[in-house]
Amino acid sequence: MLNRAIRRFWNDHQGYVIALTLVALPLLLGFSLLVIDVGRSSNLHTDLQNAVDAMALAGARELDGRDDAIDRAEAAIKNVTNSAAFAGGGTGMSLGSYAPVSFDAGDPAKGTVNVRFLKEIPDDDDDPITGSMETVNSNEASYAWVFVPDERVQMQTIFPLPVGFSRDTINVSAQAVAVYRASACDVTPLYICNPFEDPAGGDPEGSAQKYHDKFADGQLYGVQIELHNSGSYSVGPGNFGFLRTALGNGASALAEALGSGKPGVCYKQEDLETKTGVMAGPVEDGLNTRFGLYGGSFNKETNNTLYRPAANVRMAQQQSGNSCKSYSPEEQAYNAVPLGYGATMQGIGGGGGRIATDNNWNLNMYWDITHSGQKPSPLKSNPSYTPPAAPASTIRAYSSSYPGGPTPAGVNPSAYDVYNYELGNANLLADKAPSGETGIPQCHKGYDLSTYPDNVYGNRREIFAAIVNCIHEDPVGHDHVKALAFARMFLVKPAQSSGSDRYMTLETIDITGQGGRGTLDEFLREEAELVR
């Protein structure tokens, strides 16, 4: 009987599932909590990574190479932290709390994230970033590296098994590296060879640094650069060439882009697409519409506002029946002289280009012949005539394109600053040189030039070109090259020709990057890209 009862109890399966459930319940509950903790840590990492990505992009966007780039980058990162937070935060990362992402540039130990600025990164993403890649120099910084140090962010777990019974937190980290990228829009489709490039072409960084240093130190202020293009299949310091446009491949399309200043494309600083071939004619025809000269294919464009002249076109043009078509400069200085007259020039490299030895153009001679009202100029009867001093201090006070601040006392105003002073004093534009030339454009028709002010439509005697280390980059042999900077330049006088050679004379007003004055910002499309 007893045996029968035991067997019946042994064979009775009622309540078996409940028993198994009771046994398994702690494991099921633990696993559920584990899944919740894994999900919480994943969400926290995603939130933190999104915040770090945003900060790296904001910081990198400011790394344009100018002297205050790192300060601006840190301020931009700080601004992002004001709106960035991650879930599951708070003291001890307790469940359901939130914590702001913080950054303290003065004391990185206080913030959620640390920030470093890099001049380069490893080629392989698996390689670590080393100390030699870091920089505190704004001129060198190209990358913003934002990261969360170890144990800076910890999540309190609900279930301690994932990390052991003696510990109830999980470290959550994130990092991002972003790089600065720049493109320039409405740039004249020209590249200009760095006049200070290493003749061997083997030190592109040093050559770029030399160009930036000379500008920042004021050594390019008022200094004229004469650049040549002869259709040669070799380029170097003293030469210029062309960039591709979206308007077509022919010479007429390039002439249109040079004349209008609208190439229909934005140019990436890291990847310029160049255009080879002999395009000498468009240099004169397109660029010289900016002076009110309508030759070649532009002879019927005098009423087209795309090719309007600048408001001040004084260039020492001969006053003849052909004065609206091509540039024919006065041969006698006592009749008229152009802006920048009398600069002492020296050769650049072997490409035919020249550069002024200093800011040494004869301002006093220009001013006396252009604005004194003397007819004929005393020069005609007395070649040793010394003109009276021009109002240099007044010009410097009115307009200064000197890098870093006002033009220092005693420094000759640049041709560009004299041009601006004349523009700002309308009576000066009407002054006649002994030849009868004034600064008022005469050859445009059918519209009022005053309805196209420079502050809205741009100054037609300014061009915006890419500066390239031509020996190193070889823009003839390669159709994709890198620009070391974009430059804002002043056309001192119209483009000229000598046989198959075309050349133009320019002054540098501003550049992008180190030492720049920031006046090109309106033409730049600055972006940041996550690279790590």
At 198-229, the pLDDT tens digits run: 988 888 999 999 999 999 999 999 999 999 88
- Provide the residue ranges of all domains of the chain, joining segments of one domain with +: 15-182, 185-530
pLDDT of residue 413: 97
User: CA separation (Å) from 338 to 47, 434, 478, 514?
Assistant: 63, 13, 37, 32
Q: Find the range with the poorest average confidence among 136-150, 172-186, 268-282, 446-460.
A: 268-282
6 vs 269, residue with greater confidence = 269
Give the confidence band of 521 by pLDDT, cuts at 50, 70, 90.
Answer: confident
pLDDT of residue 92: 45
Q: Mean pLDDT throughout 256-266?
A: 85
501 vs 37, residue with greater confidence = 501
Share of the chain above pLDDT 70, in %: 84
User: CA separation (Å) from 194 to 96, 188, 205, 323, 471?
Assistant: 59, 17, 12, 33, 9
pLDDT of residue 32: 59
pLDDT of residue 143: 93
Mean pLDDT of the chain: 85
pLDDT of residue 298: 92
Strands (E), 444-484: 462-468, 480-481
Identify the burial level of 315 via C-beta atoms within 10 angstroms of its C-beta, where 0-12 means exposed, 13-18 middle and 19 or more buried. Answer: buried
pLDDT of residue 40: 64
pLDDT tens per residue across span 327-345: 999 989 999 999 999 999 9
Three-class SS state of 350 = coil
The continuous run of DSSP H or E covering 455 comes out as helix 454-457
Please check the confidence at residue 91 and state whether its pLDDT lies above 50. no
pLDDT tens per residue across span 438-489: 999 999 998 999 999 988 888 999 999 999 999 999 887 778 899 999 999 9
121 vs 156, residue with greater confidence = 121
pLDDT of residue 93: 43
pLDDT tens per residue across span 21-35: 666 666 666 655 556
Distance CA 468, CA 460 (A): 23
